[in-house]
Structure 1
């Protein structure tokens, strides 16, 4: 094989890999003298047209990509030889060892290296998934498709993602044919049904990193409700990293991190969550929370009538009746009485029928109120990408002229550009409900909760 010339240009150096009906070669481009990788697909007795479709899709995808951590497309060939016919994809050669090779040689990865590796791959995913014309989903993230170059004792080195033979782009997604591709153990559950989304690559990355920290292939680990059970084998890891890996490999798309950006933010800012207390709060609260991969929506029902409201309404009615009784022909007093009556009615409607709705989807955040089917926006909607901060603010009320604290109330603030969206005591939320909703929003948005204290004069970060 060594020394063979393909297409009168590429001199084969050695074979890198071989599978039924295909092979991968290291060759030298005789025109540039650079080393290249040639992937060759043969037309033989075991040839299937679906293989050629995926092969051509890989070539077209690489041709459209330009990223330092992805091999670059160089050429596409049809090779006719006396005993065979084949197609060949030529791409740049990346020197290095795969994660699989590192693991098989006994190399281990520290927690900081795992995070560094995750960061590099999430940056690659962000490029692929955010391609404007045609987002690209790799669909086969696993240790043998990740190359490390120049790894040192203090760094994983340069990270490369290779082998786009299972790639799906948006154009191919609607082709009408279901194609199940990927590698068992690293495939997200939805891929078994022929469905792939950006979160499918996140699952593959999570499963790959679980292999790194446990030394075991995902299929060697037990499962419970399709969840990979690995936490008991990595007690040396920080609990926040374990939680993040569980989040990345959630079987349900609705519960899994949905984008590379969200995954990176969540890795930097781990969620702090008491699952038992949140479950209890969800069950006991009248608030309706709906959370899917596409949106999160909070509906806060009316507060109802309590003793304080009854006292206020009785006072309003008393003053109103008095003004009407003494107004006689005094038009101004009569108008004042009518205004008080209207205020009382509005307060009653507010307490009985007002519903507050906060909704965030992939495009925007909106905040609206609804009374008897009439809805209006309290604040203008803002683009989802403008959301930059999630805050729980504690406000201390003190007696004027003294330092004696009277009470402390909390509110949750979502900052989206110049817009602020607030939920708190005004909407009848308790402190535990605010904590619960903030935690749910933090998970969905991938934002760390900022905590501040305001004493009437200044705001202090906690």
Structure 2
């Protein structure tokens, strides 16, 4: 691309060109000095007569508009947007603070080889920036996360630059924007269709991490079933590999639903198993009713009674306990034994426990559960016979954990589990007597629905 300005040239009587920082499809970025404030800036320039289509100017103006709204310590601060007319051309400019440090691409070219811990620290910082961008109203999608656009200073601080491909979700959902932007190798598959969602930036970060670990472009890595096959080519921990694989899933629904979830797993605050990559099939002959629409998921679990192996196994506990108690009473009566106070107390306690076990079993086997979830609200209700004894209401976003939790017992050498939903500090369990396939199916459906709604 032809240079617009040379070192020493003064732009708008304020910015003195020092050199070139980089150039791309929609402009050239110069290093310049703001001679009024005596500070260095990044000055991005776009010439009208060098444009091949008006869409380029639209992207440039959108970048300026969104940058003016951003306020984050790791995003260079917006300074100015202006244009200059000459006899033969019109040029547009965006001025920003100059971010310290060098791009990850330059660092790798200079033989920088970060280890796993350093890459994790870097990823956490980028995710924190993306959390900020995605939490704006409307959410801002960078769409061009790559090594050239991430800067690292000498202290290890990370900065995100070049918002030339930026898109807000209003633009994406209302006008149906279809411009293909991004960089080959770091673009999520949906970007080739002109689409972008919040997890699009996660894909770019995941491929950037692959570049750091393997010192080569993700475009040069082998693929299997449209997915980058990296595990056999890099030495990292199993947990980090699982997390990274989730980041670069080619199917949107199989990635983390958002940056908060990816960040929580990377920090060890949540387990990656909370995010099921695929839905389990509906078990045959299940008595569970599940109704799902784009906006709502309703699950009805009727009383189990003795319809499953787990419920029949648990039914043996009160039978054995109370059978032994009745046998003990018969022996005492048949032997005409006189009991001491401690003996009588033992029988009372033993019998009370037996009655409690019967109550717990009948209560668990007879209750009905209803779960209703939409994009905003979650509700769990339980009935014992016709009496509603529990009702939980919360914000869907407050659900922080969805998993099967072992209860310490086994059946056919397999652990018996219970469905668990964590809502902030509270854990809600259900489905102990369901078949394992039913529990896996339910947890997969709930996780998939929440992930799909959030994404």
Provide the TM-score with structure 2 as the length reference.
0.72
Q: Deviations over 1:172-200 (max 9, x none)?
A: 22224421111111111112222211111
- Once the two structures are overlaid, the 10-residue window that deviates more, 257-266 or 416-425, is 416-425
Distance 1:92 1:418, change over 3 A: closer
Matched, 1:223 2:235: no
Corresponding residue of 1:379: 391
Answer yes or no: is 1:244 the counterpart of 2:243. Answer: yes
Q: Deviations over 1:13-39 (max 9, x none)?
A: 112223467311111111100001100
Q: Give me the CA root mean square deviation.
A: 3.9
Given candidates 389, 409, 421, the residue that maps to 1:414 is 421
> Partners in 1 of 2:421 and 2:177 — Cα distance?
43
| Structure 1 contact 16–25 (Cα < 8 Å) conserved | yes
User: Are 1:394 and 2:395 matched, yes or no?
Assistant: no
Deviation at 1:361, TM superposition (A): 4.5
Question: How has the CA–CA distance of structure 1 residues 440 and 117 changed in structure 2, closer, same or farther, with 3 Å as cutoff?
Answer: farther
Query: How many angstroms apart in 2 are the aligned matches of 1:440 and 1:241?
Result: 25
Between Structure 1 and Structure 2, how many residues are aligned? 381
Matched, 1:191 2:199: no
- Does the 8 Å contact 1:253/1:293 carry over to 2? no
> What is the 5 A alignment of 1:269-418?
269-271=270-272, 286=286, 300=301, 303=304, 306=307, 356-368=369-381, 379-388=391-400, 392=405, 394=407, 410-417=417-424
TM-score (norm: length of structure 1): 0.71
Query: CA shift at 1:415, angstroms?
Result: 3.4
Alignment partners' CA distance in 2, 1:170 and 1:390: 28
Alpha-carbon shift at residue 294 of structure 1 (Å): 8.1
- Paired residues for 1:18-417 under 5 Å: 18-19=23-24, 22-131=27-136, 133-151=137-155, 157-173=156-172, 174-234=174-234, 236-267=235-266, 268=268, 269-271=270-272, 286=286, 300=301, 303=304, 306=307, 356-368=369-381, 379-388=391-400, 392=405, 394=407, 410-417=417-424
Residues of 2 paired with 1:210 and 1:31: CA distance?
A: 42
Change (3 A) 1:190 1:36: same
Deviation string, structure 1 residues 331-384 (Cα, Å, up to 9, x no partner): xxxxxxxxxxxxxxxx9xx98xx97443545423222579xxx9x995242112
Match of residue 402 from structure 1: none
SS of equivalent to 2:179: coil
Aligned residue for 2:41, secondary structure, equals strand
Structure 1 residue 229 displacement after superposition: 0.6
* Higher RCO (CA-CA < 8 Å; seq separation 6+): 2
TM-superposed deviation, 1:245: 0.8
Alpha-carbon distance change, 127 to 289 in structure 1, aligned in 2, over 3 angstroms = farther
Q: CA–CA distance in 1 between the matches of 2:204 and 2:49?
A: 32
Hey, what's the Cα distance between the residues in 1 that align with 2:293 and 2:206?
20
Partners in 2 of 1:424 and 1:305 — Cα distance?
Answer: 14
Q: Secondary structure at the match of 2:201?
A: helix
